[in-house]
A and B are shown apart, each in its own frame.
Chain A
Protein backbone atom coordinates (compact mmCIF):
# COMPACT_ATOMS: atom_id res chain seq x y z
CA UNK A 1 0.00 0.00 0.00
CA UNK A 2 2.47 2.62 -1.12
CA UNK A 3 0.35 4.99 -3.21
CA UNK A 4 -3.08 5.90 -1.94
CA UNK A 5 -6.00 5.08 -4.22
CA UNK A 6 -8.51 6.93 -2.10
CA UNK A 7 -7.91 9.58 0.52
CA UNK A 8 -10.64 11.06 2.67
CA UNK A 9 -10.14 13.76 5.24
CA UNK A 10 -12.74 15.12 7.62
CA UNK A 11 -15.79 13.81 5.75
CA UNK A 12 -19.15 15.03 7.05
CA UNK A 13 -22.66 14.16 5.91
CA UNK A 14 -25.49 16.29 7.28
CA UNK A 15 -29.19 16.25 6.69
CA UNK A 16 -31.02 19.51 7.27
CA UNK A 17 -34.54 18.39 8.03
CA UNK A 18 -37.37 20.82 8.72
CA UNK A 19 -37.41 19.96 12.40
CA UNK A 20 -33.81 19.08 13.17
CA UNK A 21 -30.36 18.58 11.78
CA UNK A 22 -28.98 15.06 11.56
CA UNK A 23 -25.22 14.82 11.50
CA UNK A 24 -24.79 11.28 10.22
CA UNK A 25 -21.09 11.18 9.33
CA UNK A 26 -18.91 13.31 11.59
CA UNK A 27 -15.35 13.76 10.52
CA UNK A 28 -14.28 10.51 8.90
CA UNK A 29 -10.72 10.35 7.61
CA UNK A 30 -8.92 7.42 6.06
CA UNK A 31 -6.69 6.52 3.22
CA UNK A 32 -6.55 3.26 1.32
CA UNK A 33 -4.60 1.56 -1.42
CA UNK A 34 -5.39 -1.49 -3.49
CA UNK A 35 -6.45 -3.51 -0.48
CA UNK A 36 -9.58 -4.98 1.06
CA UNK A 37 -10.80 -2.47 3.58
CA UNK A 38 -13.73 -3.31 5.83
CA UNK A 39 -16.03 -0.74 7.40
CA UNK A 40 -18.00 -2.24 10.29
CA UNK A 41 -20.68 -0.72 12.44
CA UNK A 42 -24.26 -1.09 13.60
CA UNK A 43 -27.26 0.54 11.99
CA UNK A 44 -26.97 4.30 12.09
CA UNK A 45 -23.19 4.28 12.44
CA UNK A 46 -22.75 6.11 9.14
CA UNK A 47 -20.95 3.28 7.33
CA UNK A 48 -23.25 3.18 4.31
CA UNK A 49 -23.36 6.95 3.96
CA UNK A 50 -19.57 7.02 3.96
CA UNK A 51 -19.64 4.66 0.98
CA UNK A 52 -22.34 6.66 -0.76
CA UNK A 53 -20.51 9.93 -0.18
CA UNK A 54 -17.52 8.57 -2.10
CA UNK A 55 -19.57 7.94 -5.23
CA UNK A 56 -21.66 11.08 -4.75
CA UNK A 57 -24.87 9.21 -4.12
CA UNK A 58 -26.08 10.90 -0.96
CA UNK A 59 -29.71 11.80 -1.59
CA UNK A 60 -31.10 15.26 -0.96
CA UNK A 61 -31.34 16.97 1.52
CA UNK A 62 -28.00 15.41 2.48
CA UNK A 63 -24.96 17.65 2.29
CA UNK A 64 -21.47 16.18 1.94
CA UNK A 65 -18.41 18.18 2.97
CA UNK A 66 -14.78 17.17 3.32
CA UNK A 67 -11.43 18.88 3.41
CA UNK A 68 -10.12 16.19 1.09
CA UNK A 69 -11.93 13.61 -1.05
CA UNK A 70 -9.44 12.34 -3.55
CA UNK A 71 -9.55 9.30 -5.82
CA UNK A 72 -6.34 8.49 -7.68
CA UNK A 73 -5.30 12.16 -7.74
CA UNK A 74 -8.76 13.38 -8.79
CA UNK A 75 -10.53 15.75 -6.43
CA UNK A 76 -14.05 14.33 -6.21
CA UNK A 77 -15.41 17.48 -4.57
CA UNK A 78 -14.91 19.70 -7.60
CA UNK A 79 -16.22 17.32 -10.28
CA UNK A 80 -19.44 18.36 -12.00
CA UNK A 81 -22.23 15.85 -12.39
CA UNK A 82 -21.26 14.61 -15.83
CA UNK A 83 -17.61 14.13 -14.96
CA UNK A 84 -18.55 12.40 -11.77
CA UNK A 85 -20.91 10.03 -13.53
CA UNK A 86 -18.17 9.17 -15.95
CA UNK A 87 -15.79 8.37 -13.14
CA UNK A 88 -18.18 6.39 -10.98
CA UNK A 89 -19.17 3.32 -12.86
CA UNK A 90 -16.10 3.40 -15.04
CA UNK A 91 -13.52 3.53 -12.26
CA UNK A 92 -15.54 3.17 -9.07
CA UNK A 93 -18.25 0.52 -8.83
CA UNK A 94 -20.77 -0.07 -6.10
CA UNK A 95 -22.64 -3.22 -5.15
CA UNK A 96 -25.70 -2.76 -2.97
CA UNK A 97 -27.24 -5.16 -0.50
CA UNK A 98 -30.20 -6.54 -2.38
CA UNK A 99 -30.00 -7.41 -6.07
CA UNK A 100 -33.80 -7.43 -6.24
CA UNK A 101 -33.84 -3.68 -5.83
CA UNK A 102 -30.72 -2.88 -7.82
CA UNK A 103 -31.53 -4.57 -11.12
CA UNK A 104 -33.99 -3.24 -13.64
CA UNK A 105 -36.94 -5.64 -13.43
CA UNK A 106 -38.14 -5.11 -17.03
CA UNK A 107 -34.83 -5.59 -18.80
CA UNK A 108 -33.04 -8.88 -19.35
CA UNK A 109 -29.92 -9.51 -17.34
CA UNK A 110 -27.67 -9.60 -20.39
CA UNK A 111 -28.93 -6.32 -21.80
CA UNK A 112 -28.41 -4.54 -18.48
CA UNK A 113 -24.82 -5.66 -18.17
CA UNK A 114 -24.05 -4.90 -21.80
CA UNK A 115 -25.59 -1.46 -21.38
CA UNK A 116 -23.38 -0.80 -18.36
CA UNK A 117 -20.38 -1.71 -20.49
CA UNK A 118 -21.34 0.35 -23.53
CA UNK A 119 -21.99 3.46 -21.46
CA UNK A 120 -18.34 3.38 -20.41
CA UNK A 121 -16.73 2.27 -23.65
CA UNK A 122 -17.12 2.62 -27.40
CA UNK A 123 -17.77 -1.04 -27.85
CA UNK A 124 -20.20 -2.30 -30.49
CA UNK A 125 -23.27 -4.26 -29.46
CA UNK A 126 -21.67 -7.51 -30.54
CA UNK A 127 -18.49 -6.79 -28.61
CA UNK A 128 -20.48 -5.82 -25.53
CA UNK A 129 -22.41 -9.07 -25.72
CA UNK A 130 -19.24 -11.09 -25.93
CA UNK A 131 -17.71 -9.25 -22.98
CA UNK A 132 -20.91 -9.71 -20.98
CA UNK A 133 -20.95 -13.45 -21.58
CA UNK A 134 -17.29 -13.65 -20.55
CA UNK A 135 -18.04 -11.66 -17.42
CA UNK A 136 -21.01 -13.87 -16.51
CA UNK A 137 -18.69 -16.84 -16.84
CA UNK A 138 -16.13 -15.07 -14.64
CA UNK A 139 -18.69 -14.82 -11.82
CA UNK A 140 -19.19 -18.56 -12.30
CA UNK A 141 -22.56 -18.60 -13.95
CA UNK A 142 -22.63 -21.91 -15.76
CA UNK A 143 -24.82 -21.09 -18.74
CA UNK A 144 -24.12 -17.46 -19.63
CA UNK A 145 -26.10 -17.68 -22.88
CA UNK A 146 -29.21 -18.81 -21.06
CA UNK A 147 -28.83 -16.33 -18.20
CA UNK A 148 -28.35 -13.51 -20.72
CA UNK A 149 -32.02 -13.79 -21.67
CA UNK A 150 -33.46 -14.08 -18.16
CA UNK A 151 -35.27 -11.31 -16.28
CA UNK A 152 -34.17 -10.49 -12.71
CA UNK A 153 -37.20 -12.18 -11.16
CA UNK A 154 -36.19 -15.43 -12.82
CA UNK A 155 -32.87 -15.70 -10.96
CA UNK A 156 -32.11 -16.63 -7.35
CA UNK A 157 -30.69 -14.14 -4.83
CA UNK A 158 -27.19 -15.56 -5.08
CA UNK A 159 -27.24 -15.41 -8.87
CA UNK A 160 -28.71 -11.91 -8.79
CA UNK A 161 -25.83 -10.74 -6.66
CA UNK A 162 -23.32 -12.37 -9.01
CA UNK A 163 -25.02 -10.56 -11.89
CA UNK A 164 -24.61 -7.28 -10.00
CA UNK A 165 -20.94 -8.06 -9.46
CA UNK A 166 -20.55 -8.82 -13.17
CA UNK A 167 -22.19 -5.51 -14.05
CA UNK A 168 -19.98 -3.55 -11.68
CA UNK A 169 -16.77 -5.27 -12.71
CA UNK A 170 -17.22 -5.21 -16.47
CA UNK A 171 -15.81 -1.65 -16.87
CA UNK A 172 -12.83 -2.88 -14.81
CA UNK A 173 -13.01 -0.31 -12.03
CA UNK A 174 -10.08 0.45 -9.75
CA UNK A 175 -12.22 0.65 -6.67
CA UNK A 176 -15.23 -1.45 -5.74
CA UNK A 177 -17.52 -0.42 -2.91
CA UNK A 178 -19.65 -3.30 -1.65
CA UNK A 179 -22.36 -2.34 0.83
CA UNK A 180 -23.54 -5.47 2.65
CA UNK A 181 -23.16 -7.45 -0.59
CA UNK A 182 -24.06 -10.77 0.98
CA UNK A 183 -26.43 -9.86 3.82
CA UNK A 184 -29.51 -10.86 1.84
CA UNK A 185 -27.98 -14.22 0.94
CA UNK A 186 -27.83 -17.60 2.65
CA UNK A 187 -24.56 -18.40 4.36
CA UNK A 188 -23.46 -21.07 1.91
CA UNK A 189 -24.19 -18.77 -1.02
CA UNK A 190 -22.46 -15.93 0.80
CA UNK A 191 -19.21 -17.88 0.91
CA UNK A 192 -19.39 -18.45 -2.85
CA UNK A 193 -20.13 -14.84 -3.69
CA UNK A 194 -17.32 -13.63 -1.43
CA UNK A 195 -14.91 -16.05 -3.06
CA UNK A 196 -15.77 -14.55 -6.45
CA UNK A 197 -15.23 -10.99 -5.19
CA UNK A 198 -12.03 -12.10 -3.48
CA UNK A 199 -10.58 -13.69 -6.62
CA UNK A 200 -11.54 -10.87 -8.94
CA UNK A 201 -10.24 -8.18 -6.58
CA UNK A 202 -6.87 -9.87 -6.23
CA UNK A 203 -6.58 -10.83 -9.93
CA UNK A 204 -7.30 -7.30 -11.09
CA UNK A 205 -5.47 -5.52 -8.30
CA UNK A 206 -8.51 -3.50 -7.30
CA UNK A 207 -9.24 -1.71 -4.07
CA UNK A 208 -12.31 -2.91 -2.19
CA UNK A 209 -14.38 -1.19 0.48
CA UNK A 210 -16.49 -3.83 2.18
CA UNK A 211 -19.25 -2.33 4.31
CA UNK A 212 -20.91 -4.71 6.75
CA UNK A 213 -22.45 -5.12 10.17
CA UNK A 214 -20.90 -8.57 10.46
CA UNK A 215 -17.67 -8.38 12.45
CA UNK A 216 -16.70 -12.00 11.94
CA UNK A 217 -17.21 -11.81 8.23
CA UNK A 218 -15.20 -8.61 7.84
CA UNK A 219 -12.42 -9.90 10.05
CA UNK A 220 -12.14 -13.07 7.99
CA UNK A 221 -12.48 -11.40 4.59
CA UNK A 222 -10.65 -8.06 4.71
CA UNK A 223 -7.08 -6.88 5.24
CA UNK A 224 -7.90 -3.90 7.41
CA UNK A 225 -10.99 -2.84 9.37
CA UNK A 226 -12.44 0.52 10.32
CA UNK A 227 -14.97 0.38 13.15
CA UNK A 228 -17.59 3.13 13.02
CA UNK A 229 -19.84 4.34 15.80
CA UNK A 230 -22.09 7.40 15.79
CA UNK A 231 -20.70 8.70 12.49
CA UNK A 232 -17.05 8.42 13.51
CA UNK A 233 -14.25 5.94 13.13
CA UNK A 234 -13.55 4.76 16.66
CA UNK A 235 -10.92 2.19 15.78
CA UNK A 236 -8.73 1.05 12.90
CA UNK A 237 -6.92 -2.25 13.01
CA UNK A 238 -5.62 -5.12 10.92
CA UNK A 239 -8.43 -7.58 10.29
CA UNK A 240 -6.38 -10.45 11.65
CA UNK A 241 -5.93 -8.54 14.90
CA UNK A 242 -9.57 -7.60 15.44
CA UNK A 243 -9.75 -9.92 18.45
CA UNK A 244 -7.16 -7.71 20.09
CA UNK A 245 -9.17 -4.54 19.47
CA UNK A 246 -8.75 -1.83 22.08
CA UNK A 247 -11.84 0.32 21.86
CA UNK A 248 -14.57 -0.64 24.37
CA UNK A 249 -17.20 -0.43 21.61
CA UNK A 250 -15.38 -2.92 19.40
CA UNK A 251 -14.71 -5.18 22.37
CA UNK A 252 -18.33 -4.92 23.45
CA UNK A 253 -19.58 -5.85 19.98
CA UNK A 254 -17.28 -8.84 19.76
CA UNK A 255 -18.36 -10.05 23.19
CA UNK A 256 -22.06 -9.66 22.36
CA UNK A 257 -21.77 -11.98 19.37
CA UNK A 258 -23.10 -15.50 20.03
CA UNK A 259 -20.70 -18.22 18.92
CA UNK A 260 -21.40 -21.68 17.62
CA UNK A 261 -18.73 -23.26 19.81
CA UNK A 262 -19.54 -21.35 23.01
CA UNK A 263 -21.59 -22.89 25.83
CA UNK A 264 -25.10 -21.51 26.32
CA UNK A 265 -25.43 -18.62 28.73
CA UNK A 266 -26.04 -14.91 28.96
CA UNK A 267 -24.14 -12.75 26.51
CA UNK A 268 -22.40 -9.61 27.76
CA UNK A 269 -24.56 -6.65 26.78
CA UNK A 270 -22.93 -3.60 25.29
CA UNK A 271 -22.98 -0.61 27.63
CA UNK A 272 -22.88 2.49 25.49
CA UNK A 273 -20.68 5.26 26.79
CA UNK A 274 -21.76 8.77 25.69
CA UNK A 275 -18.06 9.65 25.50
CA UNK A 276 -17.78 7.43 22.36
CA UNK A 277 -19.80 10.05 20.52
CA UNK A 278 -17.19 12.70 21.35
CA UNK A 279 -13.77 13.30 19.93
CA UNK A 280 -11.99 10.06 19.09
Chain B
Protein backbone atom coordinates (compact mmCIF):
# COMPACT_ATOMS: atom_id res chain seq x y z
CA UNK B 1 0.00 0.00 0.00
CA UNK B 2 1.35 3.39 -0.96
CA UNK B 3 0.28 6.73 0.41
CA UNK B 4 -0.78 7.51 3.94
CA UNK B 5 -2.32 4.86 6.18
CA UNK B 6 -4.47 7.43 7.92
CA UNK B 7 -5.71 10.38 5.95
CA UNK B 8 -7.98 13.11 7.29
CA UNK B 9 -9.07 16.06 5.19
CA UNK B 10 -11.27 18.98 6.31
CA UNK B 11 -12.78 16.85 9.05
CA UNK B 12 -15.52 18.72 10.88
CA UNK B 13 -17.55 17.33 13.77
CA UNK B 14 -20.46 19.21 15.31
CA UNK B 15 -22.23 18.37 18.52
CA UNK B 16 -25.38 20.44 18.35
CA UNK B 17 -24.30 24.04 18.09
CA UNK B 18 -20.71 23.50 19.13
CA UNK B 19 -17.97 22.63 16.67
CA UNK B 20 -15.76 19.97 18.27
CA UNK B 21 -13.45 19.55 15.30
CA UNK B 22 -13.09 22.33 12.75
CA UNK B 23 -11.67 21.32 9.34
CA UNK B 24 -8.80 19.23 10.61
CA UNK B 25 -6.36 17.91 8.01
CA UNK B 26 -3.43 15.56 8.57
CA UNK B 27 -2.07 12.25 7.40
CA UNK B 28 0.00 9.49 8.91
CA UNK B 29 2.36 7.32 6.85
CA UNK B 30 2.79 3.60 7.15
CA UNK B 31 4.80 2.64 10.21
CA UNK B 32 4.81 6.20 11.45
CA UNK B 33 4.04 7.26 15.01
CA UNK B 34 1.98 10.43 15.03
CA UNK B 35 0.94 12.47 18.07
CA UNK B 36 -2.25 14.47 18.37
CA UNK B 37 -1.71 16.94 21.19
CA UNK B 38 -4.01 19.40 22.87
CA UNK B 39 -5.72 20.46 26.05
CA UNK B 40 -9.15 19.35 27.15
CA UNK B 41 -11.83 20.31 24.68
CA UNK B 42 -9.37 20.70 21.82
CA UNK B 43 -11.06 17.95 19.81
CA UNK B 44 -8.16 15.49 19.77
CA UNK B 45 -10.14 12.57 21.16
CA UNK B 46 -13.07 13.35 18.86
CA UNK B 47 -10.76 12.93 15.85
CA UNK B 48 -9.67 9.57 17.22
CA UNK B 49 -13.24 8.46 17.77
CA UNK B 50 -14.13 9.33 14.17
CA UNK B 51 -11.20 7.21 12.96
CA UNK B 52 -12.31 4.34 15.19
CA UNK B 53 -15.84 4.55 13.78
CA UNK B 54 -17.36 5.54 17.11
CA UNK B 55 -18.64 8.84 15.76
CA UNK B 56 -20.43 8.67 12.42
CA UNK B 57 -21.88 12.12 12.03
CA UNK B 58 -19.14 14.23 10.49
CA UNK B 59 -18.20 15.99 7.28
CA UNK B 60 -15.01 16.01 5.25
CA UNK B 61 -12.96 13.05 4.16
CA UNK B 62 -11.25 10.39 6.25
CA UNK B 63 -9.72 7.08 5.35
CA UNK B 64 -7.96 4.39 7.32
CA UNK B 65 -5.83 1.76 5.57
CA UNK B 66 -7.37 2.74 2.25
CA UNK B 67 -10.97 2.38 3.46
CA UNK B 68 -13.18 5.41 3.09
CA UNK B 69 -14.77 5.95 6.50
CA UNK B 70 -17.80 7.60 4.91
CA UNK B 71 -19.01 4.20 3.85
CA UNK B 72 -20.15 1.53 6.26
CA UNK B 73 -17.24 0.62 8.48
CA UNK B 74 -16.53 -3.03 7.70
CA UNK B 75 -15.44 -5.59 10.23
CA UNK B 76 -12.19 -5.95 8.32
CA UNK B 77 -11.42 -2.35 9.19
CA UNK B 78 -11.79 -3.11 12.88
CA UNK B 79 -9.15 -5.74 12.39
CA UNK B 80 -6.78 -3.19 10.91
CA UNK B 81 -7.24 -0.35 13.41
CA UNK B 82 -7.74 -0.97 17.12
CA UNK B 83 -8.28 1.44 19.95
CA UNK B 84 -6.65 1.54 23.41
CA UNK B 85 -8.40 3.72 25.97
CA UNK B 86 -7.10 5.95 28.70
CA UNK B 87 -8.24 4.27 31.85
CA UNK B 88 -7.72 0.52 32.12
CA UNK B 89 -9.76 0.60 35.34
CA UNK B 90 -12.77 1.65 33.31
CA UNK B 91 -12.17 -0.08 30.00
CA UNK B 92 -12.00 -3.68 31.23
CA UNK B 93 -15.16 -5.48 32.36
CA UNK B 94 -14.73 -6.01 36.11
CA UNK B 95 -16.42 -9.43 36.08
CA UNK B 96 -14.63 -10.84 33.05
CA UNK B 97 -11.30 -12.64 33.31
CA UNK B 98 -8.45 -11.69 31.02
CA UNK B 99 -9.18 -14.90 29.12
CA UNK B 100 -12.77 -13.91 28.51
CA UNK B 101 -11.86 -10.34 27.51
CA UNK B 102 -9.48 -11.64 24.85
CA UNK B 103 -11.59 -14.67 23.95
CA UNK B 104 -14.60 -12.49 23.19
CA UNK B 105 -12.64 -10.50 20.62
CA UNK B 106 -11.41 -13.70 19.03
CA UNK B 107 -14.96 -15.07 18.88
CA UNK B 108 -16.48 -11.93 17.36
CA UNK B 109 -13.89 -11.95 14.61
CA UNK B 110 -13.98 -15.76 14.27
CA UNK B 111 -10.25 -16.15 14.72
CA UNK B 112 -8.83 -19.63 14.40
CA UNK B 113 -6.81 -21.14 17.27
CA UNK B 114 -8.09 -18.64 19.89
CA UNK B 115 -6.33 -20.56 22.63
CA UNK B 116 -2.87 -20.21 21.13
CA UNK B 117 -3.53 -16.62 20.12
CA UNK B 118 -4.49 -15.57 23.64
CA UNK B 119 -1.38 -17.13 25.09
CA UNK B 120 0.86 -15.59 22.44
CA UNK B 121 -0.59 -12.10 22.71
CA UNK B 122 -0.27 -12.11 26.49
CA UNK B 123 3.37 -13.05 26.16
CA UNK B 124 3.83 -10.29 23.59
CA UNK B 125 2.66 -7.66 26.09
CA UNK B 126 4.85 -9.14 28.80
CA UNK B 127 2.26 -11.08 30.78
CA UNK B 128 2.88 -14.73 31.55
CA UNK B 129 0.21 -17.46 31.33
CA UNK B 130 -0.47 -17.05 35.07
CA UNK B 131 -2.34 -13.81 34.27
CA UNK B 132 -4.77 -15.43 31.88
CA UNK B 133 -7.46 -16.37 34.35
CA UNK B 134 -7.27 -13.31 36.57
CA UNK B 135 -9.92 -10.65 36.99
CA UNK B 136 -9.07 -6.97 36.47
CA UNK B 137 -9.07 -6.28 40.23
CA UNK B 138 -6.29 -8.85 40.59
CA UNK B 139 -4.05 -6.81 38.30
CA UNK B 140 -2.08 -3.61 38.83
CA UNK B 141 -2.77 -0.56 36.68
CA UNK B 142 0.15 -1.33 34.39
CA UNK B 143 -0.89 -4.95 33.98
CA UNK B 144 -4.43 -3.85 33.13
CA UNK B 145 -3.17 -1.50 30.46
CA UNK B 146 -1.10 -4.39 29.07
CA UNK B 147 -4.32 -6.42 28.86
CA UNK B 148 -5.99 -3.51 27.04
CA UNK B 149 -3.09 -3.46 24.57
CA UNK B 150 -3.32 -7.25 24.21
CA UNK B 151 -7.03 -6.95 23.44
CA UNK B 152 -6.17 -4.56 20.61
CA UNK B 153 -3.26 -6.68 19.35
CA UNK B 154 -5.02 -10.04 19.25
CA UNK B 155 -6.62 -8.97 15.96
CA UNK B 156 -3.15 -8.29 14.59
CA UNK B 157 -4.01 -4.77 13.48
CA UNK B 158 -1.61 -2.62 11.50
CA UNK B 159 -2.78 0.56 13.25
CA UNK B 160 -3.13 1.32 16.94
CA UNK B 161 -5.25 4.29 17.96
CA UNK B 162 -4.14 5.27 21.46
CA UNK B 163 -6.24 7.61 23.60
CA UNK B 164 -4.08 8.91 26.47
CA UNK B 165 -2.74 5.40 27.06
CA UNK B 166 -0.56 6.38 30.02
CA UNK B 167 -2.37 9.31 31.65
CA UNK B 168 -4.01 7.21 34.35
CA UNK B 169 -0.75 5.47 35.25
CA UNK B 170 2.06 6.24 37.66
CA UNK B 171 5.29 7.56 36.17
CA UNK B 172 7.19 4.29 36.62
CA UNK B 173 4.35 2.32 35.01
CA UNK B 174 4.04 4.87 32.21
CA UNK B 175 7.66 4.19 31.30
CA UNK B 176 6.91 0.45 31.04
CA UNK B 177 3.91 0.99 28.76
CA UNK B 178 5.78 3.47 26.53
CA UNK B 179 8.63 0.97 26.18
CA UNK B 180 6.12 -1.77 25.40
CA UNK B 181 4.47 0.32 22.68
CA UNK B 182 7.85 1.14 21.16
CA UNK B 183 8.87 -2.54 21.10
CA UNK B 184 5.55 -3.73 19.64
CA UNK B 185 5.71 -1.07 16.99
CA UNK B 186 9.20 -2.17 15.94
CA UNK B 187 8.32 -5.88 16.01
CA UNK B 188 5.06 -5.58 14.14
CA UNK B 189 5.59 -2.50 12.00
CA UNK B 190 2.59 -0.82 13.60
CA UNK B 191 1.38 2.65 12.75
CA UNK B 192 0.55 4.58 15.92
CA UNK B 193 -1.80 7.49 16.38
CA UNK B 194 -1.31 8.78 19.90
CA UNK B 195 -3.73 11.25 21.44
CA UNK B 196 -2.36 12.92 24.55
CA UNK B 197 -2.00 16.17 26.45
CA UNK B 198 1.52 15.23 27.47
CA UNK B 199 4.20 16.67 25.18
CA UNK B 200 6.96 14.65 26.82
CA UNK B 201 5.18 11.40 25.94
CA UNK B 202 4.90 12.56 22.33
CA UNK B 203 8.58 13.50 22.24
CA UNK B 204 9.39 10.03 23.50
CA UNK B 205 7.24 8.01 21.12
CA UNK B 206 6.39 10.02 18.00
CA UNK B 207 8.15 11.37 14.92
CA UNK B 208 5.53 13.94 14.03
CA UNK B 209 2.69 15.66 15.81
CA UNK B 210 -0.22 18.00 15.33
CA UNK B 211 -1.18 20.51 18.00
CA UNK B 212 -4.91 21.09 18.37
CA UNK B 213 -6.76 23.92 20.02
CA UNK B 214 -10.51 24.51 20.11
CA UNK B 215 -11.14 22.00 17.34
CA UNK B 216 -8.49 23.34 14.99
CA UNK B 217 -5.04 22.04 14.18
CA UNK B 218 -2.83 25.03 14.89
CA UNK B 219 0.46 23.43 13.93
CA UNK B 220 1.88 20.22 12.50
CA UNK B 221 5.54 19.67 13.23
CA UNK B 222 8.39 17.16 13.53
CA UNK B 223 9.08 15.85 17.01
CA UNK B 224 12.64 17.03 16.53
CA UNK B 225 11.43 20.63 16.42
CA UNK B 226 9.45 19.95 19.58
CA UNK B 227 12.57 18.64 21.31
CA UNK B 228 14.47 21.74 20.31
CA UNK B 229 11.49 23.83 21.50
CA UNK B 230 11.24 25.64 18.17
CA UNK B 231 7.53 25.72 17.38
CA UNK B 232 6.08 28.18 14.89
CA UNK B 233 2.95 29.05 16.82
CA UNK B 234 2.76 31.02 20.05
CA UNK B 235 0.24 28.58 21.49
CA UNK B 236 2.60 25.63 21.04
CA UNK B 237 5.31 27.65 22.75
CA UNK B 238 2.98 28.22 25.70
CA UNK B 239 2.29 24.51 25.93
CA UNK B 240 5.99 23.70 25.91
CA UNK B 241 6.75 26.33 28.54
CA UNK B 242 3.96 25.14 30.79
CA UNK B 243 5.01 21.50 30.42
CA UNK B 244 8.49 22.19 31.72
CA UNK B 245 7.26 22.79 35.24
CA UNK B 246 6.36 25.84 37.24
CA UNK B 247 8.08 29.12 36.61
CA UNK B 248 6.55 32.26 38.07
CA UNK B 249 7.92 34.31 35.18
CA UNK B 250 6.15 32.11 32.62
CA UNK B 251 2.78 32.54 34.27
CA UNK B 252 2.53 36.10 32.97
CA UNK B 253 3.19 34.90 29.43
CA UNK B 254 0.46 32.32 29.47
CA UNK B 255 -2.79 34.18 29.10
CA UNK B 256 -5.91 33.09 30.90
CA UNK B 257 -8.35 32.04 28.23
CA UNK B 258 -10.74 29.93 30.25
CA UNK B 259 -12.42 32.80 32.03
CA UNK B 260 -15.88 32.14 30.67
CA UNK B 261 -17.46 29.00 32.06
B-binding residues in A (CB < 8 A): 42-43, 140-142, 150, 154-159, 186-192, 194-195, 198, 213, 215-217, 219-221, 252-253, 256-270
**CB-CB < 8 A to A43: which residues of B?**
141, 170
Determine whether B248 belongs to the interface, using a CB cutoff of 8 Å to chain A. Answer: yes
**CB-CB < 8 A to B257: which residues of A?**
188
Q: How far is the CB of B240 from chain A (nearest CB, A)?
A: 6
Q: Is the CB of B174 within 8 A of A256?
A: yes
Instruction: From A192, A217, A257, name the one whose CB has the most chain B CB atoms within 10 angstroms.
Output: A192
Residue of A at shortest CB range from B178?
A267
- Contacts A191-B251, A266-B179; A219 near B204 (Cβ below 8 A): no
Q: How far is the CB of A277 from chain B (nearest CB, A)?
A: 15
Main secondary structure of the interface of B (DSSP, over half): helix
Residue of A at shortest CB range from B226?
A260
Cα of A42 to Cα of B175 in the assembled complex, Å:
13
Q: Name the contact of B258 in the complex, choosing from A156, A260, A265 (C-beta under 8 A).
A: A156
Q: Is the CB of A269 within 8 A of B246?
A: no
**CB-CB < 8 A to A141: which residues of B?**
259
**CB-CB < 8 A to A188: which residues of B?**
39, 238-239, 242, 254, 257
Q: Which of B8-16, B79-87, B111-119, B194-202 contacts A (4 or more CB under 8 A)?
A: B194-202
**CB-CB < 8 A to B244: which residues of A?**
216, 220, 260
**CB-CB < 8 A to B239: which residues of A?**
187-188
Q: Is the CB of A191 within 8 A of B223?
A: no
Determine whether B261 belongs to the interface, using a CB cutoff of 8 Å to chain A. Answer: yes
Q: How far is the CB of B196 from chain A (nearest CB, A)?
A: 11
Q: Is the CB of B246 within 8 A of A215?
A: no
Q: How far is the CB of B208 from chain A (nearest CB, A)?
A: 12
- Contacts A191-B250, A258-B200, A262-B203; A253 near B171 (Cβ below 8 A): yes
Q: How many residue pairs, one in A and one in B, have C-beta atoms under 8 Å apart?
A: 130
- Contacts A186-B40, A187-B39; A266 near B182 (Cβ below 8 A): yes
Cα of A142 to Cα of B256 in the assembled complex, Å:
10
Q: How far is the CB of A232 from chain B (nearest CB, A)?
A: 17
Q: How far is the CB of B226 from chain A (nearest CB, A)?
A: 6
Cα of A188 to Cα of B257 in the assembled complex, Å:
9
**CB-CB < 8 A to B241: which residues of A?**
191
Residue of B at shortest CB range from A154?
B261
**CB-CB < 8 A to A156: which residues of B?**
258-261
Residue of A at shortest CB range from B245?
A220
**CB-CB < 8 A to B2: which residues of A?**
none
**CB-CB < 8 A to A262: which residues of B?**
203-204, 227
Determine whether B172 belongs to the interface, using a CB cutoff of 8 Å to chain A. Answer: yes
Q: How far is the CB of A79 from chain B (nearest CB, A)?
A: 34
List residues 153-185 of chain B with CB under 8 A from any CB of chain A: 170-172, 174-176, 178-179, 182
Q: Is the CB of B259 within 8 A of A159?
A: yes
Q: Is the CB of A213 within 8 A of B171?
A: yes
Q: How far is the CB of B177 from chain A (nearest CB, A)?
A: 10
Known: A159-B259, A259-B204, A262-B227. 16 other contacts (CB 8 A): A42-B171, A150-B261, A157-B40, A159-B258, A186-B39, A188-B254, A191-B246, A195-B251, A220-B247, A257-B200, A258-B174, A260-B240, A260-B244, A261-B227, A261-B228, A269-B179
